[in-house]
């Protein structure tokens, strides 16, 4: 896909932790170019480079540093907006942008479970984009809202997809070990996490997302409505002293029990359908299975494929369920900004935007 | 219990990480006094204070620092020996001490699953000491070997005990988040664990222990033989950047499903039987249940009752099993040296030794 | 010193990190008893145990948990108040308490360099309390304000005191490696400090304190006025991923150069004058010198003498200055709450309060 | 510089931490290609990919993974060898390789202070390569040994170079905060460094290197002999819980005192001489000065220019010396493998090898 010029995009809530990831990942994007950044009252009217306490290793991209921060309340004339807004703001403002004709690729949780909004992982359920037309019609929007899942859900669901197609996932137990960057900035206090861990996130809210979102993601779009996959899911989350990279320890019961080798082969052979696999941010393979007994590890595996890959290890039989494995992906790239960008790329590739 | 004088004890493998915990905890013990420390060839004949790279915060107890390290091969004339030996050495040498009349309270895994050796948690299965007489008779030993469980097993089994008695544990899934001190010293390299975690310990060996030891611990001694409890257990272990304190995220299915409040009440009401509850190292209550949504945490809860308490939190229903909770205890105190000392105290209180 | 009953005390700003240390350390104090806790508007009128996000390992002392939080603006009828107020509040409110007759032992920096306020370390400059009478007279206060130094200053000055008396400190360079607890709670974000360090604190403000406070502490009270010691001091501070315990790497030039052995002997022989050495919170010796090449270390040395001791190591010659050493003490105990409590004990022992 | 084909090179001691960095950095090198990897007896004869416990995030480069590990004792026919050997092995074996005609670019300390061996930082003292001819003649070698400095020395000396040329460095005090990767693998035990720091490295040996190497580096080659720069240096090193990146807090006295702005301008204007600045691994500028009050930080600045840049911050006046600043560079790239590769590139560019 060659384009004469890049599509201008907005980043909503651009000064926060996920907003910064959007800015970083879009800096050299082949299709998109940041034209607008929005922020809170404190930042509006000032240069992005001035008001942003940049927490990523590389410097702020120069072209963005010079942009003046706009109020999120004022919809910009761009085809696509990436939203890193907090839930409540997302709930209030994303519909305004969609109504005005913008395709909002949102990392917020506000509309994920909305029956007219796709909860999208391009490798997993690209056909869910089929709901967009109905969303536009029923809501009276010229644009639309497209969401990506919770950062821990995505670590879990990507390897589940080919296993579900092949063997039929029925029940799963998951314990997550999540990185501090998932809480944003300043987020987790060092006094709370050095030499420590916390066995909860958002007072049960994170577990509720992990127990519900996979049903929608692995479900089907039938006659214009989502039918959830009938999975039983039970989750325990923890926060650990890791900077980036969520780890999920998973046990799964299937309709047909695969031998570990079958499951490994299934994961290794899996490729995203076209056009997903050719999108600029798509990893060469959605999942890489490691044979070493001590992988995946967050620091050593989170940057696989620019942070868009998912690493699976310790695939083995489970005496109570059928299969156990450990999955890992980068929570602020694959699980947030990078995932939303991949969603936008799919919108363009399918001609919905562009 | 008042004693005229303290019982002399030996610490086998006294220079390592667990050996140091024995030395620290026994320094001010009301019943026991360290008379002998043994070590490897490198240390034998030199002063303990010289050869030990002491890794605990407090200074080496002066009385022990001056002891000359003895070879473990040479059995000392003491009624009790605490063993912090590596597995292979334990397998070779602990029987020699037992044969010569010493009661070996061992933290090693070598004999834990031996059908004639008690795997003992005084609050959980004190009646298992009944096997000792048979052990002595069949092995021809004047002393005996008594073992304590794996450091992660113990975190799991202590809260399971009252629940098992009340509701009948049938199946359980556990994911552990284990501290680096569990690997001894030098143990886990900082390059492997800073900003990282490792989803395995001992290449599956730790999980095998957690999946087998609880069956023996919750089993019964019937006509002089152990009958395992028929539990289904599936475990996933991880190593996290925490110094001390193992955390276990647990889901349990019972014969009779308790409401979370019932389970909490059961845990809170549970007390160890006499004489266990009056032993010097016994915690006032085996389990403390915390109501806060973010507890237990290793740094904030591991030192409960001098490191001998177990903290349980997040007790709630599970959609797939019956109950979920998170348990935590100090792995080198409750889960190793302190546990073995409590075992020795029970031996004395029951008149088996002393 | 035997007292019929304990003195009632207030803790100002009791819900924060240093406030919690006051509460913890005073819980079992032989002379003092917490009668009043004050907090911000958000907390006033509610129980301390409810409004405090307790970050220390042990539980909130029950007697304090039940106290109702009072507004700091309302002076209580207590002889002593411990202040953990932020600087600006301390500046506004501590004089009100002093005027009303309360002896305010403050950890705030607001009045440390006030020419009428003692900046006190009992082992170092107990005679500075002589200014109190003049402070009361000139300010028209029935109580008084007594301050303790910055948490890094105190690590530095305690070992300097005997060296200064013996050899005459002239110039010193110091680089500190400071714990995150020094920034309060939530304080340092984990995203800023995991696998990282920060080469500044308070934008140069911490260095300014370290470069000025020692001059007052090692100075003299002459004819009712403080005469600063004429020291040249240059400081570089850093924040490191350590929970508690500030480390200071120091190089000192003296009027008379001591050999390292002389300096070590001087530090080891030093004892606080009476009545300081008999105060309940006074460490047995102000400084412990370690011979091991790798000490002091924060985790292993910060709790010396209940966190009131200072550990010195690596005492050696310096090719540019005369002596190099590394000092360490617990920043929220010796360097904050514990230091202020020791100050209050001295007030009582000298009959100024009580 | 365009080459028809790449020069084959050897990596000596390729399986360790620094050896792995060599392998990683050389994988895509435009001039060099790894033809030989050597290792210890345990590894010889087996595939590199099998015997290496790879600790870097990216996978082992496939071309190297398949190489059979050779014994270091057997000199290979390559023009250049990169040495990551331990000191004693380097002392014994590097001369054998040099004698046989190989130019050994060594990261070992064995020959750094040898009066016939260049201690080389291309941006700092490229003219020191002039000693090579004399080294070859006097030692009877067809190759030569070229060394790079200690990983902390290099962080310090790079920013000193332009300041020395402009203002004449006379004395300097330095405190380092060094990353755990500097100790190799397994290196620093997690039990020694989590929530802790260690105020020493190699029992004073690291400080001795930092106090001596800069004199040679900033010295001159006069009539075929090195004349050390007459600098007074005093160092205190510390190990901190940081993975990569050494930080140095520096105070410098000059012959002519620069204002901070002059020093900053001097650092910013400095460029390496040709041909150094055009070498493939040379950073665009040797030093980047940051204005933010809280930089440099290891995690956020170590990867500047692929880990070959040096970041300086907090440039300011010092009340006792003339100037204070904080410098940071990547210890296993700029300070080890990357530095040695840059040295080799200079050898090629100057026609000494090729």
Closest CA to B16 of C293, C304, D189, C294: D189
Backbone angles phi, psi at D219, to 5 degrees: -85, -175
Q: Is C266 a catalytic residue?
A: no
What does the alpha-carbon distance between residue B144 and residue B105 come to, in Å, rounded to a whole number? 8
What does the alpha-carbon distance between residue B227 and residue B224 come to, in Å, rounded to a whole number? 10
Q: Is the pLDDT of residue B262 over 60?
A: yes
Backbone angles phi, psi at A153, to 5 degrees: -55, -45
Cα–Cα separations (whole angstroms), residue B288 to B261, B291, B301: 14, 10, 10
- Helix/strand/coil for C189: strand
Query: B218 CA to chain A: closest CA distance, Å?
Result: 19
- Helix/strand/coil for C174: strand
A55, A187, A191 ranked by CB distance to C185: nearest:
A191
Q: Encode pLDDT of C200-236 as tens digits.
A: 999 999 999 999 999 999 999 999 999 999 999 999 9
Closest CA to C189 of A243, B225, A6: A243
Chains interfacing with B (3 or more CB pairs < 8 Å): A, C, D
User: If you search the block for the tokens 């105990």, which residue do you land on?
Assistant: C333
Q: Do B242 and A320 touch (CB under 8 A)?
A: no
Residue B282 has what pLDDT? Answer: 98
Query: Catalytic residues of B, which ones?
Result: 151, 246
Cα–Cα separations (whole angstroms), residue C10 to A212, B142, C144: 50, 62, 14
Helices (H), chain D: 17-26, 48-51, 62-65, 87-99, 132-139, 151-167, 190-193, 205-217, 260-269, 298-301, 338-349
Beta bridge partner(s), residue D189 = B189
Q: In what order do the strands lie in the sheet with D169-178?
A: D232-239, D169-178, D246-254, D323-329, D310-317, D287-289
What does the alpha-carbon distance between residue B252 and residue C199 come to, in Å, rounded to a whole number? 49
Contact status, residue D298 vs residue B195, Cβ threshold 8 Å: no
What does the alpha-carbon distance between residue D211 and residue A214 come to, in Å, rounded to a whole number? 60
Cα–Cα separations (whole angstroms), residue D204 to C109, D108, D199: 37, 17, 10
What does the alpha-carbon distance between residue D243 and residue C81 come to, in Å, rounded to a whole number? 44
Residue B1 has what pLDDT? Answer: 46
> Which tokens in the block code for residue C328?
């360490």
pLDDT along chain A (354 residues), means of 10: 79 96 96 97 95 90 96 97 97 98 98 98 98 98 98 98 98 98 96 98 97 98 96 98 98 98 98 96 98 97 97 98 98 98 98 92
A57, A194, A300 ranked by CB distance to D300: nearest:
A57
Beta bridge partner(s), residue B234 = B173
The string of DSSP letters for D169-184 reads EEEEEEEEEE-GGGG-
Q: Which residues contact A43 (CB under 8 A, 6 or more apart)?
A: A15, A51, A52, A69
In terms of phi and psi (left: phi > 0; alpha: psi -120 to 50; beta: otherwise), the region of C152 is alpha
Residue D1 has what pLDDT? Answer: 45
- The b-or-e profile of B235-256 (16+ CB within 10 A means b, else e) is bbbbbbbbbbbbbbbbbbbbee
Residue A296 burial (CB < 10 Å; 0-12/13-18/19+)? Answer: buried
Closest CA to A172 of A313, A318, A293: A318
> Which tokens in the block code for residue C302?
């910060």
Q: Is the pLDDT of residue B142 over 50?
A: yes
Beta bridge partner(s), residue B192 = none
- C314 near D CB under 8 A: yes
Q: Do B180 and D194 touch (CB under 8 A)?
A: yes
Which DSSP symbol is given to C257?
P
- Helix/strand/coil for A265: helix
User: If you search the block for the tokens 């002389």, which residue do you land on?
Assistant: C262
Query: C304 CA to chain B: closest CA distance, Å?
Result: 8
Contact status, residue A332 vs residue A17, Cβ threshold 8 Å: yes
- Helix/strand/coil for C207: helix
A192, A194, A243 ranked by CB distance to C191: nearest:
A243
> Which tokens in the block code for residue D136?
């070859």
Q: In chain C, what are the domains?
A: 7-150+337-349 (3.40.50.720), 151-330 (3.30.360.10)
Q: Is the pLDDT of residue C271 over 50?
A: yes
Residue C243 with chain B: CB contacts under 8 Å: 299
CA dihedral D338, D340, D345, D348 (to 10 degrees): -160
Beta bridge partner(s), residue C48 = none
Residue C197 has what pLDDT? Answer: 98
Which contacts (CB < 8 Å, 24+ apart) does range C212-215 have? C212/C113, C213/C112, C213/C113, C213/C119, C213/C149, C213/C150, C213/C153, C213/C157, C214/C153, C214/C156, C214/C157, C214/C160, C214/C172
Provide the sign of the torsion angle of the four alpha carbons C112, C113, C117, C123, taken in this order.
positive
The complex scores an ipTM of 0.96
Q: Encode pLDDT of A249-279 as tens digits.
A: 999 999 999 999 999 999 999 999 999 999 9
- The model's pTM is 0.96
Closest CA to B123 of B263, B268, B286: B286
What does the alpha-carbon distance between residue A132 and residue A116 come to, in Å, rounded to a whole number? 7
Q: Is the pLDDT of residue C1 over 60?
A: no
Taking a contact as any Cβ pair under 8 Å apart, which residues of chain C between 183 and 202 contact chain A? 185-195
D196, D294, D318 ranked by CB distance to C234: nearest:
D318
Q: Encode pLDDT of D48-97 as tens digits.
A: 999 999 999 888 999 999 999 999 999 999 999 999 999 999 999 999 99
Pairing of strands C7-12, C80-83: parallel
pLDDT along chain D (354 residues), means of 10: 79 96 96 97 95 90 96 97 97 98 98 98 98 98 98 98 98 98 96 98 97 98 96 98 98 98 98 96 98 97 97 98 98 98 98 92
Q: Do D189 and B191 touch (CB under 8 A)?
A: no
The size of chain A, in residues, is: 354
What does the alpha-carbon distance between residue B240 and residue D309 come to, in Å, rounded to a whole number? 32
> Which tokens in the block code for residue A126?
């690209």
Nearest C-alpha in B relative to C294: B53
User: If you search the block for the tokens 């800069």, which residue do you land on?
Assistant: D214
Q: Is the pLDDT of residue B3 over 80?
A: no
Cα–Cα separations (whole angstroms), residue C29 to C5, C70, C279, C335, C342: 12, 22, 11, 18, 11
- B303 near C CB under 8 A: yes
Which DSSP symbol is given to A221?
E
Beta bridge partner(s), residue D32 = D7
Q: Which of B182, B184, B189 to mutate to test the interface with D (most CBs of D within 10 A)?
A: B189
Contact status, residue A132 vs residue A146, Cβ threshold 8 Å: yes
Which contacts (CB < 8 Å, 24+ apart) does range D110-118 have? D111/D145, D111/D147, D112/D147, D112/D149, D112/D150, D112/D209, D112/D213, D112/D216, D113/D212, D113/D213, D113/D216, D114/D145, D115/D225, D115/D226, D117/D145, D117/D146, D117/D147, D118/D146, D118/D147
Q: Do B189 and D190 touch (CB under 8 A)?
A: yes
- Helix/strand/coil for D15: coil
Nearest C-alpha in A relative to B175: A175
Residue D4 has what pLDDT? Answer: 64
Q: Do D175 and C175 touch (CB under 8 A)?
A: yes
């Amino acid at each position: 896909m060659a384009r004469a010029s890049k599509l201008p995009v907005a980043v909503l809530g651009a000064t926060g932790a996920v907003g910064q990831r959007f800015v970083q990942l879009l800096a050299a994007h082949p299709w998109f170019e940041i034209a607008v950044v929005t922020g809170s009252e404190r930042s509006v009217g000032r240069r992005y480079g001035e008001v942003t306490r940049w927490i990523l290793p590389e410097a702020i991209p120069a072209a963005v540093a010079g942009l003046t921060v706009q109020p999120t309340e004022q919809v910009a004339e761009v085809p696509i907006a990436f939203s890193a807004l907090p839930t409540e703001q997302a709930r209030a403002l994303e519909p305004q942008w969609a109504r005005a004709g913008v395709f909002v690729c949102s990392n917020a949780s506000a509309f994920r479970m909305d029956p007219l909004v796709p909860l999208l992982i391009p490798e997993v359920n690209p056909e869910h984009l089929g709901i967009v037309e109905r969303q536009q019609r029923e809501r009276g929007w010229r644009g639309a809202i497209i969401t990506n899942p919770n950062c821990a859900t995505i670590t879990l669901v990507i390897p589940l997809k080919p296993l579900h197609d092949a063997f039929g996932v029925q029940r799963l137990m998951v314990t997550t070990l999540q990185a501090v960057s998932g809480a944003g900035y300043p987020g987790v206090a060092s006094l709370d996490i050095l030499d420590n861990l916390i066995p909860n996130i958002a007072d049960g809210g994170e577990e509720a997302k992990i127990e519900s979102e996979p049903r929608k993601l692995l479900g089907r779009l039938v006659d214009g409505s989502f039918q959830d996959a009938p999975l039983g899911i039970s989750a325990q989350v923890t926060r650990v002293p890791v900077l980036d990279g969520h780890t999920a320890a998973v046990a799964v019961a299937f309709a047909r029990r695969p031998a570990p080798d079958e499951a490994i082969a299934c994961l290794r052979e899996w490729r995203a359908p076209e056009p997903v696999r050719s999108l600029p941010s798509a990893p060469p393979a959605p999942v890489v299975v490691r044979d070493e007994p001590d992988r995946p590890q967050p620091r050593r595996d989170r940057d696989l494929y620019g942070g868009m890959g998912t690493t699976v290890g310790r695939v083995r039989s489970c005496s109570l369920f059928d299969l156990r494995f450990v999955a890992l992906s980068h929570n602020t790239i694959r699980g947030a900004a990078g995932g939303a960008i991949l969603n936008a790329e799919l919108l363009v590739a399918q001609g919905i935007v562009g």
